[in-house]
Structure 1
Amino acid sequence: DPHTTPPPPPPPPAGGRRGVAGRGPGMNMESFPGGSASGPNATNCSVPPGGGGGGPRAVPFTDGAAATVVVLGLLTLLTALINAAVIGAICTTKKLHLPANYLICSLAVTDFLVALLVMPVSILYMTTETWTLGQVVCELWLSVDMTCCTCSILHLCVIALDRYWAITKAIEYASKRSARRAAVMVGIVWVLSVFISMPPLFWRQRPGRGGGLQQCIIEHDHLGYTIYSTVGAFYIPMIVILVLYYRIYNAAKTLYQKRGSSRHLSGRSTGSQNSVDRCRLDHCRVSHTFCASDVSNSDPAPTPDKLETADGQNEKNQICTSRERKAARILGLILGAFIVCWLPFFLKEVLVGLRVVQPSPLVSDFLTWLGYVNSLVNPLLYTSFNDDFKLAFKKLLRRKEHA
Structure 2
Amino acid sequence: MVCCTLNRPKAAKHRRIDRMDFFNWTEGAFATNSSSYDSFETATLPPSKILLTITLSVVAVLTTFFNCLVITAIAVTRKLHHPANYLICSLAVTDLLVAVLVMPFSIIYIQNEKWVMGEVVCTIWLSIDIACCTCSILHLATIAIDRYRAITDAVEYSRKRTGARAGAMVAVVWLLSILISLPPLLWRHYSDDEEHKDQCIIIHHHMAFTLYSTLGAFYIPLMLILILYYKIYKAAQTLYMRREASRASRHSCMTNGSMIPSSYPAGDSDGDGGPRSPEPISPPEKSFSEPSTEETPRERVRASKKVSQSKSHRHDSRSESRRSQIYQAPRISGSRERKAASTLGLIIGAFVICWLPFFVKEVIVNTCGSCNTSIEMADFLTWLGYLNSLINPLIYTIFNEDFKKAFQKLIRCSHYL
TM-score under structure 2 length normalisation: 0.71
- Counterpart-to-counterpart distance in 2, 1:93 and 1:174: 21
Task: Give the 3 Å change call, closer, same or farther, for CA 222–178 of structure 1 in structure 2.
Answer: same
| 2:367 is equivalent to residue 354 of structure 1 | yes
CA deviation after TM superposition for structure 1 residue 220, in Å: 5.5
Match of 1:78 in 2: 62
- Counterpart-to-counterpart distance in 2, 1:29 and 1:130: 12
Match of 2:102 in 1: 118
- Counterpart-to-counterpart distance in 1, 2:76 and 2:197: 45
Map 1:123-142 → 2, pairs under 5 A: 123-142=107-126
Match of 1:183 in 2: 167
- Counterpart-to-counterpart distance in 1, 2:414 and 2:115: 39
Match of 1:378 in 2: 392
CA deviation after TM superposition for structure 1 residue 62, in Å: 1.2
- Counterpart-to-counterpart distance in 2, 1:390 and 1:263: 30
Give the secondary structure class of the aligned counterpart of 2:199: coil
Match of 1:339 in 2: 352
Answer whether contact 2:67 2:93 (CA < 8 A) is retained: yes
Aligned-pair identity (%): 52
CA deviation after TM superposition for structure 1 residue 317, in Å: 3.9
Map 1:81-230 → 2, pairs under 5 A: 81-205=65-189, 214-219=198-203, 221-230=205-214
Candidates 371, 393, 396, aligned match of 2:407: 393
- Counterpart-to-counterpart distance in 2, 1:401 and 1:387: 18
- Counterpart-to-counterpart distance in 1, 2:345 and 2:364: 28
- Counterpart-to-counterpart distance in 1, 2:85 and 2:389: 17
Runs of 4+ in 1 over 6 A off after TM superposition: 57-60, 400-403
Give the secondary structure class of the aligned counterpart of 2:121: helix
User: Any idea what the Cα deviations from partners look like across 1:165-192, whole Å, max 9, x if unmatched?
Assistant: 0011011101111111110111000000
Number of residue pairs matched? 318
| 2:322 is equivalent to residue 322 of structure 1 | no
- Counterpart-to-counterpart distance in 2, 1:205 and 1:352: 17
| 2:3 is equivalent to residue 23 of structure 1 | yes
- Counterpart-to-counterpart distance in 1, 2:130 and 2:147: 26
Higher CA-based Rg: 2
User: Any idea what the Cα deviations from partners look like across 1:15-72, whole Å, max 9, x if unmatched?
Assistant: xxxxx9x3313445669x9xxxxxxxxxxxxxxxxxxxxxxx9896211100000000
CA deviation after TM superposition for structure 1 residue 213, in Å: 5.1
Which letter maps to 1:397? Answer: I
Give the secondary structure class of the aligned counterpart of 2:84: helix
- Counterpart-to-counterpart distance in 2, 1:205 and 1:244: 38
Answer whether contact 1:23 1:150 (CA < 8 A) is retained: no
Answer whether contact 1:26 1:352 (CA < 8 A) is retained: no
Structure with greater proportional helix content: 2
Answer whether contact 2:63 2:96 (CA < 8 A) is retained: yes
Answer whether contact 2:5 2:382 (CA < 8 A) is retained: yes
Unaligned residue ranges in structure 1 (runs of 5+): 1-19, 34-56, 271-310
CA deviation after TM superposition for structure 1 residue 316, in Å: 4.3
CA deviation after TM superposition for structure 1 residue 395, in Å: 1.2
Task: Give the 3 Å change call, closer, same or farther, for CA 401–27 of structure 1 in structure 2.
Answer: farther
CA deviation after TM superposition for structure 1 residue 206, in Å: 5.3
Task: Give the 3 Å change call, closer, same or farther, for CA 75–205 of structure 1 in structure 2.
Answer: same
Give the secondary structure class of the aligned counterpart of 1:227: helix
Which letter maps to 2:349? Answer: G
- Counterpart-to-counterpart distance in 2, 1:207 and 1:357: 20
Give the secondary structure class of the aligned counterpart of 1:337: helix
- Counterpart-to-counterpart distance in 2, 1:30 and 1:82: 35
- Counterpart-to-counterpart distance in 1, 2:185 and 2:349: 33
Answer whether contact 2:240 2:333 (CA < 8 A) is retained: yes
Candidates 382, 387, 395, aligned match of 1:368: 382
Task: Give the 3 Å change call, closer, same or farther, for CA 268–319 of structure 1 in structure 2.
Answer: closer
Give the secondary structure class of the aligned counterpart of 1:104: helix
User: Any idea what the Cα deviations from partners look like across 1:268-304, whole Å, max 9, x if unmatched?
Assistant: 699xxxxxxxxxxxxxxxxxxxxxxxxxxxxxxxxxx
Give the secondary structure class of the aligned counterpart of 2:5: coil
- Counterpart-to-counterpart distance in 2, 1:106 and 1:366: 27
Single out whichever of 383-392 and 87-96 deviates more from structure 2.
383-392
- Counterpart-to-counterpart distance in 1, 2:90 and 2:244: 39
- Counterpart-to-counterpart distance in 2, 1:148 and 1:402: 30
CA deviation after TM superposition for structure 1 residue 263, in Å: 3.7
- Counterpart-to-counterpart distance in 2, 1:207 and 1:99: 46
Which letter maps to 1:353? Answer: N
Which letter maps to 2:114? Answer: T
- Counterpart-to-counterpart distance in 1, 2:225 and 2:329: 30
Unaligned residue ranges in structure 2 (runs of 5+): 14-37, 257-323
Answer whether contact 2:10 2:375 (CA < 8 A) is retained: no
Which letter maps to 2:366? Answer: G
Task: Give the 3 Å change call, closer, same or farther, for CA 253–127 of structure 1 in structure 2.
Answer: same
Match of 2:33 in 1: none
CA deviation after TM superposition for structure 1 residue 256, in Å: 1.8
- Counterpart-to-counterpart distance in 1, 2:402 and 2:386: 27
